[in-house]
Amino acid sequence: MPITVISTKIPDVLIIEPKVYDDDRGWFYESFNEKEFSAAVGCNITFVQDNHSSSKKGVLRGLHYQTQQTQAKLVRVCRGIVFSVAVDLRNSSPTFGQWVGVELSDENKKQLWIPEGFAHGFLALSDEVEFLYKTTDHWHPSSEQCIVWNDPTLDIQWPQIGMELILNAKDQQGLSWSQAPKFD
């Protein structure tokens, strides 16, 4: 089942579009194929954990990352619409400090590949969202970091759709870009 790979302004962050087979019964698509995915990203990837979250409209989660047991993520939405953001934290990268934002939805079925060395967050744009992500390492709570979602240095252009944002205490108190640990 072929996939389409779309480059972003950060070459290591990729949009993956699966081939969707649609007919009068509904639709079918292969949400993950190890052989095709590895070819798309240029190396073999092993996922060790699948996560599934539910959010209501206005929930903003992130920008999260781990300094140990760093995680690459393949994220997608199975219900609703989100604006998903990846921020490059790799000091040696030509795109260090830049971000990519992509709308993911149950309708467009796009997935976002976020390699290690990135912070990730998303904003729920629809009344109900179910967000799925595969990770390459396990959650390591003691090394988890959070960059505040509205850091002026990053200047992430979150969609402005006139809603009140809902953040937990950790996300409200995230670190500034200058305080956040980075990767070599």
**Does residue 20 lie in a domain region?**
yes
* The two three-digit tokens of residue 85, written as one number: 């953001």
140 is catalytic: no
Catalytic residue among 29, 52, 64, 120, which? Answer: 64
For position 160, what pLDDT does the model report? 79
**Does residue 74 lie in a domain region?**
yes
52 is catalytic: no
**Does residue 177 lie in a domain region?**
no
pLDDT tens sequence across 121-174: 999 999 999 999 999 999 999 999 999 999 999 999 999 767 899 999 999 999
Question: Which residues lie closer than 8 Å to 153 by C-beta, 6 or more apart?
Answer: 97, 176, 177, 178
Question: What does the alpha-carbon distance between residue 142 and residue 2 come to, in Å, rounded to a whole number?
Answer: 39
What's the CA angle centered on 162, arms 86 and 64, to 5 degrees? Answer: 25
**Does residue 73 lie in a domain region?**
yes
Domain residue limits at 110: 3-172
CATH (domain of 156): 2.60.120.10
**Does residue 24 lie in a domain region?**
yes
Catalytic residue among 52, 133, 138, 140, which? Answer: 133
**Does residue 183 lie in a domain region?**
no
pLDDT tens sequence across 79-126: 999 999 999 999 999 999 999 999 999 999 999 999 999 999 999 999
